[in-house]
Amino acid sequence: MKKFLIVGAGALLVLATTAAIGHAQSIDVVTADIPFPFIANNEAPMPAGTYEFSVANANNPDVWVIHAIKGTKEAMVETDIMQQEDPAPQTELVFDDLGNDHFLRQIWIEGRLDGREVLPTKQEQALEKQGVSKSKHHVPATHGEHSSRSMKH
């Protein structure tokens, strides 16, 4: 009986490990057509266009890559996880609009309670300190997945 329990426990451990590894290999990809230039890090603004947003590395979900579908524009942003009480009703990007500038703030995936919050840039912090009025801008997006083995990054 003891041998059966040890073998059974070992099999469960292997299954749990395999499931965790399989899940870690799946990378979220959010695609959006952004109709305005936006700022995603402390570099120059990204031009309006269609972009893919994805985790840079399956082992570190805090760093996301933003890649222009057309062209070579690319940026990396640091994010923190954020939680809400209800699942996100749709996949979307949320921007903070300060004056004439649009700053990427959040990434939400439909059906999930957790999202990603992009850390504020120095420029955004300076504008907030100056008292520039702030509003939110929601941009619909689509969600897919791809294997981290096929990532370019």
pLDDT digits (tens, 9 = 90+) for 114-128: 999 999 999 999 999
- Please determine, for residue 35, whether its predicted confidence score (pLDDT) is greater than 80: yes
Residue located via tokens 């300076």 = 126
For residues 58-68, average pLDDT: 92
Q: Is residue 20 part of a domain?
A: no
Number of structural domains (the chain) is 1
Q: Which helix (H) or strand (E) holds 3?
A: helix 2-24
Domain range enclosing 85? 27-145
Which pairing describes strands 114-118 and 101-108: parallel, antiparallel, or unpaired? Answer: antiparallel
Cβ-Cβ contacts under 8 Å for 92 (sequence gap 6 or more): 32, 108, 138, 139, 140, 141
Proportion of the chain above pLDDT 70, given as a percent: 78
Query: Does the pLDDT value for residue 4 go beyond 60?
Result: no
Report yes or no on 10 lying in a domain.
no
Decide if 2 is inside a domain.
no
Domain annotation covers residue 129: yes
For residue 23, pLDDT over 60 is answered with: no
Return the pLDDT at 78: 94
Helix (H), strand (E) at residue 15: helix 2-24
Domain membership of residue 72 (yes or no) is yes
